Structure 1
Amino acid sequence: MKVKLIKYTPEPERMVAMAARLCYSPIGAEELVEKMSDKQVENLVKKIVKMGHASTVEHVSFTFAIEGISRVLTHQLVRHRIASYSQQSQRYVAEHDFEYITPPSIRKNAAAAEKFDKLMRQIRQTYDELTQMDIPKEDARYVLANATETKIVATFNARSLLHFFSLRCCQRAQWEIRQMAYMMLKEVKAVAPLLFKNAGASCVATGACPEGDMTCGLFDEMIKLREE
């Protein structure tokens, strides 16, 4: 899996602070940007995060290039609707030698891994045979597995990204999308550490698990992960 932050709003924390100050200031946005010191920006962002003044963080966005993930993952990812996605097309890109993602539970079981790999080889062969019979790629793709590797570009504003982390960094999220979420979180923390300081599973921010009886029971471990 590869996750790369390829573009983001310049000086994202200053932008968030400016938007917050504008709500209570008689002067305009341009003047605020010029006048606010780094310390003022830092203090205001900390206050915004603590207060949950969420509308102000919608003014900054982050774009990720993501590779080496399965169609299973992207089916889950696009359920996060306040985001923009561009995914590698199976209608136009041939999948003759498609890579595939093997879940750890299958990979560590030799018998299961053998069955899994055998099926993937069979799917590749069937896909090739169909396209050789002049079946369009857009129809031949119907035999492809959810395990098929794909690539996607995803853009989130900071508010939707924080919500995404609260759900997908949770231990109850599926392993693949959880791994991706932590890689994305590491990327944005590097450019906006104050904004994403408390980002992660919802228990990290609130101190309580929303899963009730279905809790993972790993609250202390989740706190440690956030601090790494």
Structure 2
Amino acid sequence: MEVKLIAHTQLSEDFLYELSKRSYEVFFDLTEDKITDGQAVALTAIRTCYSHNKPSEIILKEANKYFYRDATDGQGGTEADRLIRHIVSSKHLSTLEHLTFTFAIEGVSRALLAQLTRHRVGFSFSVQSQRYCRFGSDDKSGGFRYVVPPSVEQNDHARREYELAMIEIQNLYDELRFLGVPPEDARFVLPQSATCNLVLTANLRALLDFYSKRRKGRGAQWEIAELTERLCETVVAVEPWTDPFFEQA
């Protein structure tokens, strides 16, 4: 399994340019990642609901109050951190939907895909097609690849039987193709363990909800639990302030 971040919410060049002309300190802290783009967007969305200032002016006019003052709730961080904690605890989570993350997810099973696509609100999927991608031994793919569950991997006899079954399935797929069966029909014999690649885009609110349901220790199957942890780690790497909210999920 590979999880790579393709894109995430970024402030526009035009917005940063206007900010640089009017508040160099805030502009510098944003470009040096002392304040992340995600924090800036989150603050803008939250304060838009309660401020008389225009959304385009909130960072300019309210940064000093929120990013440069210690949190007044005694829980550490800045007033921006306090505000976001308050929003999360009060469940005003629509304000976190403005932060999105796009992932390349590679080498996961179709069994995982079936579980993953049950999460639809706030998620978008583009999945490698078994209809248009060919998985014959002589195709560019070199045959289908598959995931081996740990319970099978750790049992030598089970592993041998499992691998023999995969070989038989590959042979059957190849034979069907040789007999003129189109790939879209030959794929019917491919197992749930067959791997696929996908692009996933999700907003922060959806990811927090997903994490609360699929994280390790919540009864999720091992593969999707591993994916859940990888997604969390990837988000936290670019938006460190989100870490406590995943931990609390």
> What's the TM-score once normalised by structure 1's chain length?
0.84
Shift of 1:29: 0.3
Alignment counterpart, residue 61 of structure 1, candidates 100, 103, 118: 100
1:34 has 2:74 as partner: no
Shift of 1:141: 0.1
- Tell me the amino acid that sits aligned with residue 126 of structure 2: S
- 1:1-35, Cα deviation, whole Å (9 max, x unpaired): 10011111111121111111011111110011333
Alignment counterpart, residue 85 of structure 1, candidates 125, 131, 136: 125
- Could you list the runs of 4 or more consecutive aligned residues of structure 1 that deviate by over 6 angstroms after TM superposition? none
Alignment counterpart, residue 51 of structure 2, candidates 13, 22, 25: 25
1-structure distance, mates of 2:62, 2:125: 34
RMSD: 1.4
Q: Say if 2:208 and 2:245, in contact at 8 Å, map to a contact too.
A: no
Q: Find the counterpart in structure 1 of residue 32 from structure 2.
A: none
5 Å-filtered alignment, 1:1-228, equals 1-10=1-10, 11-37=37-63, 38-39=67-68, 40-82=79-121, 83-96=123-136, 97-171=143-217, 172-200=219-247, 204-205=248-249
> What's the TM-score once normalised by structure 2's chain length?
0.77
Shift of 1:93: 0.4
1-structure distance, mates of 2:148, 2:201: 26
Tell me the percent identity.
41
Q: Say if 1:70 and 1:101, in contact at 8 Å, map to a contact too.
A: yes
Shift of 1:192: 1.6
Q: Which runs of 5+ in 2 are unaligned?
A: 11-36, 69-78, 137-142
Q: Say if 1:14 and 1:41, in contact at 8 Å, map to a contact too.
A: no
| SS of equivalent to 2:237 | helix
1-structure distance, mates of 2:146, 2:188: 16
2-structure distance, mates of 1:157, 1:79: 16
| SS of equivalent to 2:240 | coil
Shift of 1:151: 0.5
Shift of 1:43: 3.6
Q: Which runs of 5+ in 1 are unaligned?
A: 206-228
Shift of 1:111: 0.7
Q: Which structure: larger Rg?
A: 2
